[in-house]
Amino acid sequence: MAVVIRMSRHGTKKKPFYRVVAADENAPRDGRYLEILGTYNPKDAANKGVFNTERIQYWISKGAKPSTTVGHLLKKNVA
């Protein structure tokens, strides 16, 4: 089972809210996940993202690959 760190869409129409999750790469986008690692709200200018960096580092150490979007968010907000 290959694990990927990606975003899962929630919220209503035209008001997206994303959860950053660790999931199996074959699972659907909004389907089953292993763990919630943070949140991202593109509509909130003051607080775009909240991430659990300890757990993200844990999953990366276990071989999880972040998606391109999550990788950009992590570089922008965590570093």
Rg (CA), the chain: 12
Asked if 37 contacts 71 with a C-beta cutoff of 8 angstroms, the reply is no
Enclosing domain of residue 44: 3-77
Which amino acid is it at 8?
S
Of 56, 59, 33, nearest to 9 by C-alpha is: 33
Question: Residue 62: CB partners within 8 Å, gap ≥ 6?
Answer: 3
Residue 7 is predicted with a pLDDT of 94
Work out the average pLDDT over 20-34: 89
- Between residues 29 and 71, the one the model is more confident about: 71
Domain count, the chain: 1
What integer pLDDT is reported at residue 66 of this predicted model? 95
What is the overall mean pLDDT for the chain?
A: 89
Question: What percent of the chain shows pLDDT beyond 90?
Answer: 66
Per residue in 43-63, pLDDT (tens digit) is 887 777 889 999 999 999 999
Can you give the CATH number for the domain in which 60 is found? 3.30.1320.10
Compute the distance between CA of residue 19 and CA of residue 26 in angstroms, rounded to an integer.
18
